[in-house]
Structure formats: structure tokens, C-alpha cells
């Protein structure tokens, strides 16, 4: 006589078989212990990697900061000359850019000994390189540059004046701005990309301005003191 076996029936399940299997699956989990933190070896490797990154990264970050600072100052001065020139041609009047001892004050004037102190652009109706008359409005002002930077005009000039046609007026009140070295503590040396760490701003007699970064061109004209 055939005896029906519940385990052989289609779709049948046996708690006698599935129970031990489930228990066996849980046993390794119960024996497994979680670990927290780092081993001494892992900590030493991490510190070594951090040390290497800092050794390589800090000098590069320092150079990046100095390059950004000197480039920003050179571009600010360059753009100021461009604004003064375009405004002279647009307004059909004299426009002067000059060094100012108090460029951010309402009474700012051309009393600065160097562009390091800051500079102003203003409507110079009577062309005397001074904001002394009515209507000689201030157009733009730039505060003192970073203490680590020097703007050194080749002839010690502190101004440049544009005529109503947008061209330079020449030596109106002493030597007019022609060239200037913009330097930091690195001076004139090769920096990233083969360019000079310094910048040279050149303003032609007709009022066109350009910033030079090429090491050889700056070297030929004379670098930082």
C-alpha cells in the first residue's frame, strides 16, 4: 500500500526542512561582529596621503593666489584707461585718470603720489588735471591696491589725460603716464606658463593701452626694481 509522503507532494513545504535551513542562515550573522574606526595601518596611510597632498598643493595654491591678485590689479588699471578713453570720445570732453590719495571720498582729487594709493577717472572740463571746477564729475574710483603689490610708472607719472577726440593730450602737467610695472614680492621671474610673475602696462601717446605678460618682452623693457 502506497503511503502518501507530504514532502513529495507538489507545492508541499516541510517545516522540518525549512526550519533548520533558516536557522543555519542566521547562525553566521549572530557570530559576525561589527568593527568600528580605523586600524593603525589605515590611519598612517591616510596621514601619509594628506601630507603628500599638502606638500604639493600649498605652494601651488599660494602661486595661484598671487597670480590672481596681480592679474586682477593689472586688469583693473587697464580697464580704467579703456573706460577713460571711450568716455572722452563719447562725451566729447577731456577725461583724466590720475592717482588719488583718497579715491573713495566724495572730494577725491589728483593728489596721490602713486597709483598704489588708488586712482580716479573724472570729467576734466578745463583740462588742468584737477577736480576744481563745476561739472567735473567723478566717473570711476578704485581703492588702494593690495599691500603686497607695487605699481611703478617708468617716469614717475601720476596721470593720463584724454582729449575730446579720445586721444592722449600728452604732458599737460608734468610727465604723462606711459608705462608701469606691476610687481609683487616675486619680482620679475618666470611663472606658470612661461610668463612673467610681473605685469607691464603700456599706454601709447594716442591712448591705447595693453597689459604685457610675456617674460622676454618685459625683460627687454626692464623688470621690477
Q: Give residue limits of the domains in the chain.
A: 45-221
The average confidence (pLDDT) of the chain is: 83
**Residue 176 in contact with residue 110, Cβ under 8 Å?**
no
The single residue listed with the C-alpha cell 581703492 is 143
**Residue 182 in contact with residue 150, Cβ under 8 Å?**
yes
Closest CA to 88 of 53, 127, 123: 123
In the prediction, which pLDDT does 63 show?
A: 79
Indicate the fold that domain 45-221 takes in CATH: minor pseudopilin epsh fold (3.55.40)
pLDDT at 161 > cutoff 60: yes
Give the pLDDT band of residue 21 (cuts 50, 70, 90).
low
pLDDT at 19 > cutoff 80: no
In the prediction, which pLDDT does 52 show?
A: 72
Q: Please give the full DSSP string across 70-125, using - where no structure is assigned.
A: HHHHHHHHHHHHHHHHHHHHHHTS-EEEEE-SSTTSTT--S--SSGGG-EEEEE-T
pLDDT at 207 > cutoff 70: yes
User: What span, in angstroms and rounded, lies between the C-alpha atoms of 195 and 188?
Assistant: 10
CA distances from 222 to 143, 154, 188, 190, 213 (A): 27, 9, 9, 14, 13
pLDDT at 86 > cutoff 70: yes
pLDDT at 36 > cutoff 80: no
How are strands ordered across the β-sheet holding 195-203?
Answer: 150-153, 179-183, 195-203, 209-214
User: What span, in angstroms and rounded, lies between the C-alpha atoms of 190 and 14?
Assistant: 83
Q: Which cell goes with 174?
A: 608734468
Give the pLDDT band of residue 2 (cuts 50, 70, 90).
very low
What backbone torsions phi and psi does residue 186 show, to the nearest 5 degrees? Answer: -80, -25
Amino acid at each position: 500500500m502506497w503511503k502518501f509522503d507530504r514532502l513529495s507532494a507538489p507545492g508541499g513545504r516541510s517545516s522540518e526542512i525549512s526550519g533548520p535551513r533558516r536557522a543555519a542562515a542566521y547562525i553566521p550573522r549572530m557570530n559576525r561582529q561589527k568593527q568600528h574606526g580605523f586600524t593603525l595601518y589605515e590611519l598612517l596611510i591616510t596621514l601619509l596621503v594628506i601630507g603628500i597632498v599638502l606638500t604639493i598643493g600649498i605652494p601651488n595654491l599660494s602661486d595661484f593666489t598671487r597670480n590672481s591678485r596681480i592679474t586682477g590689479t593689472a586688469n583693473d588699471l587697464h580697464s580704467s584707461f579703456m573706460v577713460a578713453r571711450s568716455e572722452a570720445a563719447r562725451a566729447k570732453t577731456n577725461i583724466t585718470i590720475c592717482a588719488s590719495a583718497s579715491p573713495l571720498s566724495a572730494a577725491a582729487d589728483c593728489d596721490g603720489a602713486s597709483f598704489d594709493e588708488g586712482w580716479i577717472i573724472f570729467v576734466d572740463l578745463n583740462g588742468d588735471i584737477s577736480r576744481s571746477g563745476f561739472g567735473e564729475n567723478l566717473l570711476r574710483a578704485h581703492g588702494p591696491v593690495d599691500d603686497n603689490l607695487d605699481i611703478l610708472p617708468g617716469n614717475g607719472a601720476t596721470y593720463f589725460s584724454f582729449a575730446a577726440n579720445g586721444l592722449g593730450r600728452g604732458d599737460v602737467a608734468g610727465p604723462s603716464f606711459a608705462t608701469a610695472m606691476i610687481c609683487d614680492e616675486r619680482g620679475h621671474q618666470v611663472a606658470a606658463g612661461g610668463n612673467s610673475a610681473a605685469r607691464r602696462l603700456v599706454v601709447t601717446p594716442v591712448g591705447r593701452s595693453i597689459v604685457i605678460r610675456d617674460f622676454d618682452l618685459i625683460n627687454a623693457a626692464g623688470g621690477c626694481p
